[in-house]
Each structure stands twice: as C-alpha cells, then as structure tokens.
Structure 1
C-alpha cells in the first residue's frame, strides 16, 4: 500500500483562541511609534458624526492594515475584524462604506487631511531614522512615475489607456530605496485612463504634494527623478525655480540626434555599473556643447539655464530591434540634469539616473498592496482608496526601517515575502502574570524577526 506524502489529519470542530496575523502586531506598534493614531484621529475629526461610535481615523487605519496584510477590497477588513485581541474593535462593513462615501463627497479636503496626518507620522519616523536615499550629499531622491491600473468594469474616470487597455493612469512619487532609503510612497494622484504621461501640470502637482510629505528641513535638498514624461520646459523650469536638482529622461529629438552626430569620438567615456566599475559595451558623453544653437538654453521660452544633456550609448543585445535614433549601431538614451560640481563624473550621473528604475520595484509592491485594482465605483472614492494604499505601503516600509537592523535582509523584502514570513504567522494570546501575551509557533524560522522587531519598536 502506497503511503501518503502528508500526515493524516482531520478537521476538529473544537475552536482555539488564535490569531492568524501575529506579525500584524508590528504594524500596530509602528502606528504608535509614528503617532499615526493621534494624527489620523485629529485630521479626520471634522468627519466624525455626533453619535459616531467609531473614530474615522481608526476606521481608515484598520482598512490600511487590512491592505497591508494583503487585502484588496473593503470587505477584506473582515480579517482584521476577526482578531479584536490584536487590532481592537473594528467597524462594520456598512460603517466603513459610509465613511468612504462621506470622505469622497469632500475629496479634496479629506485627501489633504489624510496627507497631513501621514506627513506628521513621517516626520516622527524620520526623527528616529533619517533615510538619506541615494547616499549622495545628504540628498533625498524623489522618483515620479505613472502607473496603469486596469479596470475590469465600468467605473467613473476609467478610460482607454495609451497601451490599449482600460482603466486608470495614476501618478506616484516615491522616496528612493537604496541601502539607506526606505522607498516610501509619498503621494498618489488618481487620473483617468486617458491622462497623458507628459502633462506638466500633473507632474508639478505631484511634486508639490511629495515635497509637503517630507519634513520641512529636508525639502531644500531634494533630487527629482523622472522618465521622459517629465521632460517638459514647464516642469523642469519649476524644479529650477524651487532650487532643487533634477535628473529627467530626455527624448531623442532632432537636436539630440544632431549633437550625437557632431560629437567627436574621443568625447565618449566608459559608463559605470551600479558598483561604480566600468560597464562593458556602454559609454557616456555630454551633448550640451554640441546641441544646435536653436536648442540652447537661456531664452524666456527655452529650457532653464544650467541644464545639461548627457547621452549614453550601448550596443543592443542580440535580437533587439533597432530604432531610428540609433547611431551607427549604438542604442542612444539621454537625460537632463542640472547637477554640477566636483566629484561628479559623467558615468556617476548616468548611473544615478539609471537607478530611477528602482521605482518599478515600488510599483510592483503597490500592486501587491491594494493597487492591482481600484475596487470602488466613484472617482473620489478611488482617490481615497489610493490614500489608503499609500498609508498601507508606508506602514510596511516604516516597520522594516524601524524594526530591523540595517544588515537584516528582511529590511529589503517586498510585501509578498513580508506577509508570507512575518505578518501571516498564527499565534495564541494568553493571560499570564496580569499581562496579555502573544505566543508564537515553536518552530517557525522567522520568529526572531518578530521578537527583535518588537524590542526595536519600544518607545525611546
């Protein structure tokens, strides 16, 4: 007789007093350390009815907790509601729906209030750990990028997208997440599916909201990165007026092609990889001096003064389709920056710009944290949902930043892995020694992350 791979078990009708999200305890602790409770409660006080039992701030936080645990719609709040020993009393689904509808009816004021609360919490977190993203001169690097979110039903604001899909085209701003940065989601702006990637007004709006999320002392030392969608005279000029630095993808326009053709061969220098070593088959050069006179900066309707155009050329990989802008078999890409000064090689500037691709990691994490689908019908309601997603994403990265040491791999895990290994651990709550204690499973290999994280998140 062939034996089964698995032990013989049957489901017992007797129920134990367990919690299925023991790691969620770290999220509640982060909320206390960062002051999320107080900030959300104060910010949303105007939307609390006279006879309301549930605090709107607590309701919104509970929904964000459900999203951080893997939920993707309001009804997934049932997972949080079923564990009152861990998360406290949670509002019913009708109460949550009414609150979202109330906030959406005054979406601009509600969004501003939620963002104010998140900014206050962020300042508390950065007071304990300042994430100098990029590790260059104390700068905070802010990445702007658009995201396509598919809508599987007719929703307000859903429209055909430039990739022939159907849905929405929100724009986000992130803090860079290298060895020192956190990858926080600063702001998300909901836009219709037909919104352009090149709208300067949207870039300016997102940048303003992102800067407002940073502590006041950090707003003057920011590097703004974006793809070619941000390469507009209005947006680059606005960044220059703010006194900030930028590194923005630049399209291969006719002046760029003319400069590439005019530049002498000896002007090209070896490109660098992420570790600063020469990258084989890739070179960089500055095109600014070879741009045609009609494309030079300095006029009132021109690009802002001080802008540099830097090009990278690389041999396409085997099988790659060549482009019309390729030059003698080289793949040409460009970016614009106003960074100057000693210590900045062209290869270093190009590497710094290319690391903008890390924003794609944050987008992938957001898709696993409530952004795969906008679950509500109204446009204002889905903007509130975007604020919930941003709060959930921040709770996760704040937990990683404050709970784990710099060398701990868990600090750089994406949401999927965090949930599998830390958040979704079953435990038992017992009363012992006049205290309520959470006991973790005996042989779980990641117990130490919860215990050390809990110790790190104690008040200082």
Structure 2
C-alpha cells in the first residue's frame, strides 16, 4: 500500500533545540509568583536551621503547576523539567516526595493561613475590576454579597495496605474525601481526607470542613454565606451550626443553608395533601423559564412539628416525571405514581419556592468540579502514609486555585469557563520556541494556533497584576 500524499517524505527526529512544551505552565508559575502564593508558601514551610537546595514553597507550587498541566502522580513533576531554560532547575521526584513528608499537621495549618492571605489579595483584585466580584446568579438574579459554599464527599479507591483505607458504604475499599468549593470563583476552599468508613453526615467532619472553608474567606465575604449540602451530608446539629453562623452572635452574620431532605412516609403524606389541595406550582429551568412537567410545593405547614429545627426552617418538594435512569433507585410510591420526588430544606426567610428550588439545584455543579479534581490528581493517592496523601491533596487544592485564578484574572469568554480538559488542549499544552536576543528571552508561539492571541494576552495580564502589600 502506497503512502498518501501528505505523509510522503515525512520523517521525525528528537534533536530539536529551543523548544518549550506545555507553555501554560509558565503562566501558572508566574501567576503564583505575582499573587504572592509562592512567597507565602515558602514562609509557611520555612524551618529554622534547615536550608534545602529547593525552596519548599516553590516545590509545592511546581507540583501544583504540574497537576494543573495533567500530572496524576508525584513522578510527573518531570513535566516541568524541559522548561529548565525558562524557569531554572526543578526539584526531582525524590525531593518532592521528601517535601510532602515534611508537611505535618502544624505545617498544614500554616499553609492554610498562607492560602487565606493570598486569597484576600486575589479577591481584592477581583472586587476592584469593572465587573466586580463574581456573584452567583439564579434565574438571572445575582445573589449580590452572598458567598456560596458547596460541600460534598467522594470516595477514593485504594489498596488495603494504605493507611486509613477502609471498607465504604458502596462496598468498595479506600478513603473518603470531603471537599468545600466556592461557587462564586470555582476555588477549592478546603478538603479533608478520612477513613473510607467515615459517614457522609458525620457532624464533626462537616463542621470541621466548613470551619476551614470559612477561614479561607476574607472578612468582607463572611457576613452572608449560603451553604449547600446534599441529602447524604446534612444533620440537625450541622444545620444548627450553620444557622448560628458558626456560633457567632453578631447580627451582621447571616448564614443560610440549602440541604437535601429525606423523603419518608411523612413527606409522602404531605405530598398527597399537596395533590388534593392543588399546592403545586410550575418549576423553572436554569434561565428562569417555566419547565414543563416539573412542579414545586412548600410542604412546611403539612409536616407537623418542626420546632426542633432552626428558626425559619422550611421544606420544599419537587416532582417531575420518573426518568428511566432513576428507575432503579425509585421507591415503590414513585414507581406507582410515575413521578420522581425530591425534597430539600432551607432557612431562607423570603423567596418563592421556584426560586429556592432553582438555587438548591445548582448544588449539582460541585459534582463536575469533583470529577475534574479526580482527573487532576485526587483519584490516586500516591503514598501508603496518610500525612503524605493529605499533603498531596493540599497540592491538588492549590492547583484548583491556580486554574481558577488563571481563568478569572487572565482569560476571557468561553476560555474563562472552560473545563480543565479544554483548558489544557487550548492553552496549557501549547509548545513555544525560546528565542534569545537583546539581553531578553522571548517565547514564540505558533502563529497558526487559534488561541495564540489569548495565550499572549493572558501572559501580559498576569505580568500586570498588582503585587501584594
């Protein structure tokens, strides 16, 4: 069989010079430097009398950069080795391993404080933009001033010899990772690694997660917080803690929750009363338009005594036709009715049931974010030791922040909302040629690359960021 026209005379060799791959790693490393993240982490991990060849803060930033580029294990730090001509020497795999082993509980707390300080600076930059700080919108209405935190748990499979690995409720074996994400910015505020048999509604774990998440927020975004939790994660004590603003007594703090609610016989009886009384109202879709065959109703007054729950506690139900993909998990009542019923609870005082339902349904946006995190290093824990795996998860959280800041501060349009996979393909994995001249170094991107201008524009925007004071 003859070669086709395009491949005739084509050859390949590995002797190119001046080529730099994954040029987006330069953006991420520069972004960490300009926002003050590298310096803050260096200060957090500095130890008296210990002067390593590779600064530990820079090592952690480089690892987060590699994870953002697609690394899924510590050994993938080699992704940055071919950028030596631009960024200088990069820590080796054993050095990165030792750096993670050095991160104990006290170092983790210092890293959290460093991340919070840098986040204050970044959020100040966002607030000072002409478009202002990103606000979450529901039905086209912005929740101005509200910081929305979504929490969820995810199981990470692991062999039995790993510290903390245990049988899970799904019959698998591994760890339980709890994550808190800011829906305003897409940043991962906090993450906790626990044994696989830790229940999703463990009150202590969830309060610890939210406490760490709130600590990451600047003070001016802590007054009005909406916490969204799925039905597997809520508990009465957790909702009381949220409603009390974490035990704060100042009236300036107004924290609300929107959480999944169990559909039991009591809720079924309330739904039947709603049917008889005609209490159902048309539900809305993402853009605020009525959604056909979907309805919501406030069941609070039909559920009897709810005084044990926080003030203004209300329960809202949603019903829609039972889709075949939900049939295996449907109850006998849902199968008989041919409808799927979902209930959620909130302590929001005002707002129509349709709006509150649409607001709660946006909690589902945390699921693709966790899926992206699993594809960015969270799926495979690298060590048998729990502390090393905890430090690795911290690096994946920093990687999530870097990706979010890149999109918020340096990219426009669809690139500012692109998934990590799309971002890598279009921006991060592009090669460039390193050219030296006139005492300067210049990275030259392929002129034919469709997103070359966006990459150059992002680089200049990062360079222009104000440094922290």
Structure 1 length-normalised TM: 0.92
CA contact 1:271–1:284 (8 Å) conserved in 2: yes
| Alignment match, 2:251 | none
How far apart are 1:82 and its partner, in Å?
Answer: 2.8
CA contact 1:133–1:175 (8 Å) conserved in 2: no
How far apart are 1:369 and its partner, in Å?
Answer: 1.1
| Alignment match, 1:127 | 124
How far apart are 1:303 and its partner, in Å?
Answer: 1.4
| Alignment match, 2:40 | 39
Q: Does 1:289 align with 2:301?
A: yes
Alpha-carbon distance in 1 for matches of 2:414, 2:98 = 41
How far apart are 1:70 and its partner, in Å?
Answer: 0.6
Alpha-carbon distance in 1 for matches of 2:209, 2:326 = 35
How far apart are 1:454 and its partner, in Å?
Answer: 1.4
Q: Does 1:249 align with 2:256?
A: no
Alpha-carbon distance in 1 for matches of 2:228, 2:393 = 22
Query: Among residues 266, 277, 288, which one is paired with 1:276 in the alignment?
Result: 288
Query: Among residues 340, 353, 368, which one is paired with 1:346 in the alignment?
Result: 353
Within 5 Å, give how 1:435-450 maps onto structure 2: 435-450=440-455
CA contact 2:381–2:389 (8 Å) conserved in 1: yes
CA contact 1:64–1:389 (8 Å) conserved in 2: yes
Alpha-carbon distance in 2 for matches of 1:62, 1:331 = 47
| Alignment match, 1:328 | 337
Runs of 4+ in 1 over 6 A off after TM superposition: none
Q: Does 1:315 align with 2:316?
A: no
CA contact 1:237–1:303 (8 Å) conserved in 2: yes
| Alignment match, 1:116 | 113
How far apart are 1:282 and its partner, in Å?
Answer: 0.9
SS of the residue 1:21 aligns to = coil
Unaligned runs of 5+ in 1: none
SS of the residue 1:190 aligns to = strand
Query: Among residues 205, 220, 227, which one is paired with 2:208 in the alignment?
Result: 205
CA deviation map 1:126-163 (0-9, x unaligned):
11112323431321110000111122563111112212
SS of the residue 1:436 aligns to = strand
Q: 1:238 to 1:323 in 2, by over 3 A?
A: same
Q: Which moved more, 1:23-32 or 1:147-156?
A: 147-156
Alpha-carbon distance in 2 for matches of 1:287, 1:14 = 71
Alpha-carbon distance in 2 for matches of 1:12, 1:370 = 32
Query: Among residues 423, 427, 435, which one is paired with 2:428 in the alignment?
Result: 423
How far apart are 1:387 and its partner, in Å?
Answer: 0.3
How far apart are 1:432 and its partner, in Å?
Answer: 2.0
| Alignment match, 1:188 | 191
CA contact 2:21–2:82 (8 Å) conserved in 1: no
Q: Which moved more, 1:135-144 or 1:262-271?
A: 262-271
Alpha-carbon distance in 1 for matches of 2:165, 2:159 = 10
Query: Among residues 258, 268, 274, which one is paired with 2:269 in the alignment?
Result: 258
| Alignment match, 1:92 | 92
Q: 1:307 to 1:395 in 2, by over 3 A?
A: same
Number of equivalences: 442
CA deviation map 1:202-246 (0-9, x unaligned):
111111011011111101111000101232110000001114011
RMSD: 1.8
CA contact 1:258–1:292 (8 Å) conserved in 2: no
Alpha-carbon distance in 1 for matches of 2:244, 2:349 = 17
SS of the residue 1:331 aligns to = strand
Q: 1:319 to 1:168 in 2, by over 3 A?
A: closer
Q: Does 1:17 align with 2:18?
A: yes
Alpha-carbon distance in 1 for matches of 2:51, 2:225 = 45
CA contact 1:65–1:392 (8 Å) conserved in 2: yes
Query: Among residues 224, 227, 231, which one is paired with 1:224 in the alignment?
Result: 227
Q: 1:3 to 1:245 in 2, by over 3 A?
A: same
Q: Which moved more, 1:60-69 or 1:249-258?
A: 249-258
CA contact 1:199–1:229 (8 Å) conserved in 2: no
Alpha-carbon distance in 1 for matches of 2:436, 2:428 = 22
Q: Does 1:376 align with 2:388?
A: no
CA deviation map 1:35-75 (0-9, x unaligned):
111111111113x6534222111111111111111111111
Unaligned runs of 5+ in 2: 127-132, 246-253
Query: Among residues 157, 180, 196, which one is paired with 1:173 in the alignment?
Result: 180
Alpha-carbon distance in 2 for matches of 1:49, 1:74 = 26
Q: Which moved more, 1:5-14 or 1:217-226?
A: 5-14
Q: Does 1:452 align with 2:464?
A: no
Alpha-carbon distance in 2 for matches of 1:287, 1:253 = 13
How far apart are 1:424 and its partner, in Å?
Answer: 0.9
How far apart are 1:349 and its partner, in Å?
Answer: 0.5
Alpha-carbon distance in 1 for matches of 2:261, 2:300 = 12
